[in-house]
Copies of this chain bind each other. A is one copy, B any other.
Amino acid sequence: MESNLNPIAGAGAVDLARPTHPLHGFFEPRAVAILGASSDPNKLGGRPARFMREAGFTGAVYPVNNRATEIQGYRAFASVRDIPDAVEQALIILPAPACMAALKECADKGIRFAQIFSAGFGELGAAGLEQQRQLVTYAREHDMRLLGPNCLGLVGVRNGFFATFSTALEALFPIAGGIAIATQSGAFGSCAYAIAIQRGLGLSRMVSTGNEADVDVAECIDYLADDPETRVICAAIEGCRNGERLRSALAKAARQGKPVVMMKLGATAIGIAAAATHTGTLAGNDAVYDAVFAECGAWRARSIEEMLDIAYFCDKLPVPTNARAGVVTISGGIGILMADDAEPRGLALPPMPEAAARQIAGIVPFASIANPMDTTAQVSAVKDGLTAVMEVMLKETDWATLFLFMAQLACSPERFEPMRLELRRLRQTYRDRCLVLIGPSDEGVRRKLEADGFVILDDPTRAVVAAAAASAMYARRQALHVPLRPAPGATALGAVHNEADAKRLLGRYGIPLLPERVCTSKEEAVVAALTLGLPAAAKILSADIAHKTEIGGVMLELNDAAAVAAAFEELTARARTAAPQAKIDGVLIAPMAGEGVETILGVHQDPVFGPMILFGLGGVAVELFKDVAFASAPLSRERALSLVQSVRASRLLQGWRGQPAYDVAALVDTLIKLSQLAAEHADTLAGIDINPFLVQRQGAVCLDALVSLRDASKSARPPARSAG
């Protein structure tokens, strides 16, 4: 009992100065102290030591407990200060009030990394939050990093560093593999670990960040992006405080070629309900996260099962470098089910090439040739028939993914053995392809297939979903969009009271406008209309009337001077009736714009992710079908075009039913300019609606605009540039 298990060769062997990731000491400590360690291996304080012993942690473990000299076979110490050797990390499993003292002890010992499992901090409200802040302040002053408090801890599967009290690890130990799981919530994390372990997925690391007083999920993703043991990152967040950090971590993983499968749980929806702009209302919380994840190469999973299926695919298989897939099946119905599943998810099943068709007809002359390739059950009479068909498809196409639906063949180990060997041969010959087997299987057979580099799932739909996501992530990684915030605009925005001011601002950025005049008398209005051209449109102008249509504040198709004069009178009368307190700035006179497709362009100043650009088509497409999309500002030309194309209704712009197309180039040009404006004035703009923005056969024009400025006194986030 003189030595600890797996001790470090000698004191001083822990080289704290090695140039590694700032979180390295959390994930790969050489020596760890457990403050609040318990002799009872089933207690919260006893589980970490027990798990590390059972998992064969490669570092030294120092339980700290002033009532024991030995804990679970490890030599125990009354205080951290008594530990004779250097210690890199501390696990603090003490009541909340004792944590600060413990942290100080750790600092004195030179410990730089502390996990605080204890609850009783920020999650309880103001008082707890203050305690939490004090911990962070102290840690920063002493060059320490904190994980937690109120967290579940951290697990390394290969190094046996099971620094957690999660009971998810009690029943089964994880298999080592390439899947990392980082979650904010411990309960969510535990559930995901347990499911992954039960499924036999290969895991590298698991970490829960709890209250995120210091380290957050984004920084863990950043670490895992560098981690050689991790091939794919699963992450679940409830909120995000620092959009730049999340963006940059996701982009780093993408550049390393590592897929990130995200779950975003919960909706912060700060300020959305009270959004001043329509764009703000449409932003909700989800649409912006969707946009950011996609831009940074990540995938948003909608269920734990989907997240783990995708991770399993990415861990076991090569990267699918195109979104084309072939299907070989012994059931025609399943083939059609898979085709139905694939298409809306962007996975193409191209027709069978002629050369492949010829060869396949030679193997299964009784089957009709197509993709999905239904060999029918008769293939069982052809020796190695299924694998022969697969081989032709692998040889004659460049499809990244090939699915084999084999019903329950893999349930019978002996009967399946010859086919398994043939499959293995294919796997070894076509190493760059993703081979996905579908059907229930015997446990032992499944393990062997996985060891050979196959994915096997029992449900065809799940297999298609996973492959589609992996392929989409590859494409996203090739087209990363992590906008660098430009310098603030040279000139200030100035005051924006009404529609005329708003349009003047847009005009400064080159956004196309109609010639318009602000008129304060009916005579002025008539002159303006005759000068600008009939028929004319007239709109009430007032900073106090944001939604002028609703009070009848817009009159269109004014065909002559008399109509214009009457409209002036009518509009001012209506405004006085509807909003007696409103200050009327006049009436805006413009020519009618002509035919076109009404779209909506918008700027949403997201409290987490900064300026986002919205695009949608007018009318029911937006109102009922929420057919809008967001992208981070500023936009490149490619990104602006892909924003337009990502909206379903934008097919109307391409010339519906043989009619000529609308001027998408002018639309894209405006989106870019709007995004410049949004990015340069991120600190002062709250939001912009350009609604409608009329896209015409030639050109495009802003018909109405609303600009809303931030109230500096209520600013919900620090100035954008300081977030980097």
Identify the A interface with B (CB < 8 A). 119, 123-124, 166-168, 170-172, 184-188, 190-191, 193-195, 198, 236, 238, 263, 265-267, 302-306, 329-334, 336-337, 341, 366, 376-378, 405, 407-409, 411-412, 415, 439-440, 442, 458-462, 550, 617, 619-621, 623-625, 627, 648-649, 651-652, 656-657
Question: A333 to B265, Cβ gap below 8 A?
Answer: yes
Within the complex, the shortest CB–CB distance from A151 to chain B, in Å, comes to: 11
Question: B458 to A198, Cβ gap below 8 A?
Answer: yes
Within the complex, the shortest CB–CB distance from A120 to chain B, in Å, comes to: 9
A333 in complex: contacting residue of B166, B188, B652, CB < 8 Å? B188
Within the complex, the shortest CB–CB distance from A93 to chain B, in Å, comes to: 14
Question: B461 to A302, Cβ gap below 8 A?
Answer: yes
Q: Which 7 A-B pairs have the closest CB atoms?
A: A265-B333, A187-B331, A303-B461, A194-B408, A194-B440, A191-B407, A305-B459
A332 in complex: contacting residue of B198, B266, B623, B627, CB < 8 Å? B266
Alpha-carbon distance between A408 and B171 when the two chains are bound, in angstroms: 10
Alpha-carbon distance between A341 and B263 when the two chains are bound, in angstroms: 13
Within the complex, the shortest CB–CB distance from A234 to chain B, in Å, comes to: 14
Question: B332 to A407, Cβ gap below 8 A?
Answer: no
Question: B333 to A238, Cβ gap below 8 A?
Answer: yes
Within the complex, the shortest CB–CB distance from A618 to chain B, in Å, comes to: 10
- Residue on B with the closest CB to A461? B303
Question: B333 to A459, Cβ gap below 8 A?
Answer: no
Alpha-carbon distance between A407 and B236 when the two chains are bound, in angstroms: 15
* Chain B hits for A329, CB < 8 A: 187
A167 in complex: contacting residue of B124, B168, B332, B409, CB < 8 Å? B409
20 residue pairs of the A-B complex, CB under 8 angstroms, read A167-B411, A187-B329, A190-B408, A191-B458, A193-B408, A194-B411, A238-B336, A266-B332, A266-B333, A302-B461, A303-B462, A304-B458, A305-B459, A305-B461, A619-B619, A620-B620, A621-B625, A623-B656, A624-B648, A624-B651
Assembly of this chain: how many copies?
Answer: 2
Known contacts A334-B265, A336-B267: does B378 contact A168 (CB below 8 Å)? no
Q: A119-B377, A621-B625 are in contact. List 19 more A-B contacts (CB 8 A).
A: A123-B376, A168-B411, A168-B440, A171-B411, A171-B442, A187-B329, A187-B333, A187-B334, A190-B407, A190-B408, A191-B439, A238-B332, A303-B459, A303-B462, A304-B458, A617-B620, A624-B648, A624-B649, A624-B652
Alpha-carbon distance between A61 and B415 when the two chains are bound, in angstroms: 27
- Residue on B with the closest CB to A191? B407
Question: B304 to A461, Cβ gap below 8 A?
Answer: yes
Question: B620 to A330, Cβ gap below 8 A?
Answer: no
Alpha-carbon distance between A651 and B649 when the two chains are bound, in angstroms: 19
* Chain B hits for A651, CB < 8 A: 624
Alpha-carbon distance between A111 and B198 when the two chains are bound, in angstroms: 50
Within the complex, the shortest CB–CB distance from A612 to chain B, in Å, comes to: 21
Alpha-carbon distance between A715 and B539 when the two chains are bound, in angstroms: 59
Within the complex, the shortest CB–CB distance from A225 to chain B, in Å, comes to: 23
Question: B619 to A620, Cβ gap below 8 A?
Answer: yes
- Residue on B with the closest CB to A120? B378
* Chain B hits for A341, CB < 8 A: 302-303
Question: A266 to B624, Cβ gap below 8 A?
Answer: no
Question: A305 to B462, Cβ gap below 8 A?
Answer: yes
Within the complex, the shortest CB–CB distance from A461 to chain B, in Å, comes to: 4
Alpha-carbon distance between A119 and B376 when the two chains are bound, in angstroms: 11
* Chain B hits for A195, CB < 8 A: 440, 458-459
* Chain B hits for A198, CB < 8 A: 411, 440, 458
A440 in complex: contacting residue of B191, B376, B407, CB < 8 Å? B191
* Chain B hits for A439, CB < 8 A: 191, 194
Question: B167 to A415, Cβ gap below 8 A?
Answer: yes
Question: B185 to A333, Cβ gap below 8 A?
Answer: yes
* Chain B hits for A378, CB < 8 A: 119
Known contacts A266-B336, A376-B123: does B440 contact A652 (CB below 8 Å)? no
Question: A377 to B187, Cβ gap below 8 A?
Answer: yes
Within the complex, the shortest CB–CB distance from A287 to chain B, in Å, comes to: 13
Alpha-carbon distance between A419 and B366 when the two chains are bound, in angstroms: 58
* Chain B hits for A621, CB < 8 A: 620, 624-625
- Residue on B with the closest CB to A304? B459
Within the complex, the shortest CB–CB distance from A651 to chain B, in Å, comes to: 6
* Chain B hits for A411, CB < 8 A: 167-168, 170-172, 194, 198
- Residue on B with the closest CB to A196? B440
Within the complex, the shortest CB–CB distance from A223 to chain B, in Å, comes to: 22
Within the complex, the shortest CB–CB distance from A186 to chain B, in Å, comes to: 6
* Chain B hits for A265, CB < 8 A: 332-334, 336-337
Within the complex, the shortest CB–CB distance from A414 to chain B, in Å, comes to: 9
Known contacts A195-B459, A265-B333: does B303 contact A407 (CB below 8 Å)? no
Interface centre among A306, A407, A621, A624 (most CB of B within 10 A): A407
- Residue on B with the closest CB to A123? B376
* Chain B hits for A619, CB < 8 A: 619-620
Alpha-carbon distance between A657 and B238 when the two chains are bound, in angstroms: 33
Within the complex, the shortest CB–CB distance from A159 to chain B, in Å, comes to: 23
Question: B191 to A334, Cβ gap below 8 A?
Answer: yes
Question: A412 to B459, Cβ gap below 8 A?
Answer: no
Within the complex, the shortest CB–CB distance from A577 to chain B, in Å, comes to: 17
* Chain B hits for A409, CB < 8 A: 167
Alpha-carbon distance between A331 and B408 when the two chains are bound, in angstroms: 37
Alpha-carbon distance between A376 and B330 when the two chains are bound, in angstroms: 48
Question: B337 to A412, Cβ gap below 8 A?
Answer: no
Within the complex, the shortest CB–CB distance from A459 to chain B, in Å, comes to: 4
Question: A187 to B407, Cβ gap below 8 A?
Answer: yes
* Chain B hits for A336, CB < 8 A: 238, 265-267
Within the complex, the shortest CB–CB distance from A344 to chain B, in Å, comes to: 11
* Chain B hits for A186, CB < 8 A: 377
- Residue on B with the closest CB to A187? B331
Alpha-carbon distance between A461 and B236 when the two chains are bound, in angstroms: 15
- Residue on B with the closest CB to A183? B333
Alpha-carbon distance between A340 and B390 when the two chains are bound, in angstroms: 40
* Chain B hits for A172, CB < 8 A: 411
Question: B238 to A303, Cβ gap below 8 A?
Answer: no
* Chain B hits for A267, CB < 8 A: 336
* Chain B hits for A266, CB < 8 A: 332-333, 336
* Chain B hits for A657, CB < 8 A: 550
- Residue on B with the closest CB to A651? B624
